[in-house]
């Protein structure tokens, strides 16, 4: 089982955990269950995960609230961990470029 690490801002903000905590309890449960599946079986493919290229992955959760949540993460070989760097509710067909850029920036900060 891989370790899961949540990105924190340089001043200690828990942005991804805060995103998850802001969701309704049933949605939180689905996100947690999906994350557990990835933690136990990474690498895992569609429909649950999708590679975004350059080492970034997207965890895709279909929520009971009829919304789609996404967690962006990368695998850290050094720490043998999945590092979750971004979380958002998907509102468009494609993953927003701004979210991918933010995830890439946070990945660089993490290293």
pLDDT at 110: 85
Domains, the chain, in order of start with CATH, read 3-110 (3.30.2310.20)
If phi > 0 it is left, if psi is from -120 to 50 it is alpha, else beta; for residue 96 that is beta
Strand pairing partners for 87?
A: 71
Q: What is the pLDDT of residues 23-57, one digit of tens each?
A: 999 999 999 999 999 999 999 999 999 999 999 99
CA–CA dist 45, 72 (Å, integer): 14
């Amino acid at each position: 089982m891989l370790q899961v690490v949540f990105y924190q801002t340089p001043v200690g903000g828990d942005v991804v955990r805060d995103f998850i905590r802001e969701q309704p309890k049933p949605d939180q449960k689905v996100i947690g269950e999906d994350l557990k599946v990835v933690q136990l079986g990474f690498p895992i493919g569609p429909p649950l995960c999708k590679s975004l290229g350059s080492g970034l992955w997207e965890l895709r959760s279909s929520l009971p609230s009829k919304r789609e949540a996404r967690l962006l993460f990368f695998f850290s070989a050094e720490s043998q961990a999945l590092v979750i760097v971004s979380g958002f509710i998907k509102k468009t067909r494609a993953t927003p470029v701004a979210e991918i850029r933010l995830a890439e920036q946070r990945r660089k900060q993490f290293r």
